[in-house]
Amino acid sequence: MGNALFTDADSRKWFTALAEPPWIKNGTQARVRAAVAGESTELDLSNSYVTSRMTHIPEGVFPTLTMLTTLNLLACESLAALPESLGELQTLTELNLNGCESLTALPESLGQLRALTTLNLHFCGSLVALPESLGQLRALTTLNLRHCRSLTALPDSLGELHALMTLDMVNCSSLTTLPECLGQLRALTMLNLQRCVSLVALPESLSQLQALVELNLNNCTSLSALPECLCNLQALTTLNLGHCCESLTALPESFGQLRALTTLSLSWCSSLAALPESLSQLQSLMKLDLGNCSSLTALPESLGQLRALTELSLVYCTSLTALPESLGKLRALTTLNLHFCWSLTALPESLGQLRALTMLNLERCRKLQRCRCLKPCYLKRSERLLKRNIQIRDGRALRFPMTTHDFAATVLFGSMLRPRRPSGDGADVAAGGATTTAAASASDGQADASLVRVLGAFPDCVLSKLNSHGPAFASNTKRLIADFCGVSFYGEGFARWVAEIDRQLLRQDQGQQQGQRGAQFNFARRAHGYHGPPALFERTGGPW
């Protein structure tokens, strides 16, 4: 069969070696045959027992694939080289060499693939260099070099890739420098240098990447400083400096020029002692991660000017002793994580102004004194609730006294069915009139009078009591329980419930019991990140 496809002996021998057991339909030989005949524009040689042992592809194979647009060589782990005839695949748009771990070099003819848009070299761990002809790939938009651990440099022709939008170099651990021509990649929107642990500096031309939206320098531990030019990236929305520049003590004052920034991660910048006042100019910033900045002693008063900020993480900021009073101006803040800020001795009075706050984590803040803006009784109850949540998290207590199937049927599908009790005992009359007859049977379309809906899996279940608070409260609370138990997510439902709690707080002075109960839970919700209703703990021995 190989004689009909290929004229040279080496190609025929290669094709014969691709033979698989006859019961395998559409095997490797069949896919090659279809590609040579022009019946398919894709050739998939990936994840096959025979191709995993393939050490080379003969020169005579690629010239026969004149219609090929996609070549997939995923996990051809024994493939040591590609033939120069690769350049004859003039219609090829995607080349996948992911997992070709024995591949040490690419042919110079690579640059002849003028239609190529995607080049995937992920996990080509033996690849030591890229050919200079790479710059001729003028249509290339995505270059994946993830885990090319032996790659020490990029060719100077890289800057000629004017269409390149994504350059992913995660864990190129031998890469020490980037070429100055990097700044010529005017279309580049994503540059990922995560875990490039040998990279010692960034080129000054970085500032020319005016289309760059995302820059990831996480775990670039050999970087000694951030260049001032970094602050000229006007389109940048995401900047990850986590575990980067461990000797960095301060950010450049021009940092505030990154006006489009929405996400900033400075986690594990353990030598960072202060933040610049210009941080307040980041008016689009929504997420700020300062976790494990163990040398950070204070936050600038200008922090309160970050009006778009929704998430602030200060986890393990062990030297932080106080928070600025301007914190209360962060009206959009929903999440404040102070876990293990063990030097923090007080919270600002303005904390109570954070009306949008739904999660406040104060766990292990050992020196934190009682905040005057929070009532002592709320603190006591929240401490008990926190302990209960920890027990649930660690599997030492049940989230809910029901089986998974009962819970799903009750909360997500509205009701359980059980036989109707004899009339006169009043057992089937639920509070608020929620108990109704079962759904009509499929056979005759009539309701089965022997079955009724119940809100709980057993008579004393928490869910069976919900309607006493009104149908709207019952429905919303069931959704919140589902959210808390991880069954589904109802973000809008939770927001509406928080609004209802706030209305109850306004009625607290009138002595309404429901308002007092809502206020207690409102603090626990904000103080410890608990996203479930108070009634959840009535059956589990919790503080409610």
CA dihedral (229, 230, 233, 236) in degrees, to 10, reads 180
Q: Which two tokens stand for residue 391?
A: 């027990």
- CA–CA separation, 41 vs 511, rounded Å? 75
**Structure confidence at residue 4 (pLDDT):** 73
Q: Please name which of 431, 413, 387 lies closest in space to residue 487, comparing C-alpha atoms.
A: 413
pLDDT digits (tens, 9 = 90+) for 259-307: 999 999 999 998 999 999 999 999 999 999 999 999 999 999 999 999 9
Q: Please name which of 490, 526, 519, 481 lies closest in space to residue 502, comparing C-alpha atoms.
A: 519
- CA–CA separation, 241 vs 257, rounded Å? 17
The whole model's pTM is what?
0.70
Q: Does domain 213-373 have CATH number 3.80.10.10?
A: yes
Q: What are residue 183's phi and psi, to 5 degrees?
A: -65, -10
- CA–CA separation, 133 vs 83, rounded Å? 15
Q: Is the CA virtual torsion 283, 219, 293, 365 positive or negative? A: positive
- CA–CA separation, 447 vs 375, rounded Å? 52
- CA–CA separation, 359 vs 158, rounded Å? 46
Hey, which residues does 71 pair with through a beta bridge?
A: 43, 95
Q: Where in the chain is the domain with CATH 3.80.10.10?
A: 213-373
Cβ atoms 233, 257 nearer than 8 A: no
Grouping H, G, I as helix, E, B as strand and the rest as coil, residue 265 is strand
C-alpha distances in Å from residue 482, one per residue of 411, 426, 448, 488, 536 = 7, 29, 29, 6, 11
Please name the amino acid found at residue 33. Answer: R
Grouping H, G, I as helix, E, B as strand and the rest as coil, residue 496 is helix
Q: Which two tokens stand for residue 42?
A: 């894709």
Crossing angle for the helix pair 471-484 and 491-506, nearest 10 degrees? 130
b/e map 377-400, b = 16+ CB within 10 Å = ebbebbeebbebbeebeeeebebb
Cβ atoms 89, 116 nearer than 8 A: no
Give every residue of the chain whose pLDDT is below 50, as ranges.
Answer: 1, 370-374, 378, 381-382, 385, 388-389, 392-393, 397-421, 423-464, 484-491, 493-495, 497-498, 501, 509, 512-517, 519-521, 523-544
**Structure confidence at residue 130 (pLDDT):** 97
What kind and span of H or E run contains 10? Answer: helix 9-16
pLDDT digits (tens, 9 = 90+) for 468-524: 555 555 555 555 555 544 444 334 544 454 455 455 555 654 554 444 445 444 544
- CA–CA separation, 459 vs 463, rounded Å? 9
- What DSSP designation does 42 have? E
Cβ atoms 370, 362 nearer than 8 A: no
Hey, which residues does 367 pair with through a beta bridge?
A: none
Q: Which two tokens stand for residue 340?
A: 């293990």
- CA–CA separation, 254 vs 71, rounded Å? 46
What is the rounded average pLDDT for all residues in the chain?
A: 77
- CA–CA separation, 43 vs 65, rounded Å? 9
Cβ atoms 49, 27 nearer than 8 A: no
Grouping H, G, I as helix, E, B as strand and the rest as coil, residue 269 is coil
Q: Which two tokens stand for residue 172?
A: 């190129």
Number of helices followed by number of strands (H, E) in the chain: 9, 16
Please name the amino acid found at residue 189. Answer: T
Please name the amino acid found at residue 464. Answer: S
Q: Which residues contact 138 (CB under 8 A, 6 or more apart)?
A: 114, 160, 161, 162, 163
Q: What are residue 23's phi and psi, to 5 degrees?
A: -75, -10
SS3 string, 322-364, reads CCCHHHHHCCCCCEEECCCCCCCCCCCHHHHHCCCCCEEECCC
Q: What are residue 60's phi and psi, to 5 degrees?
A: -80, -5
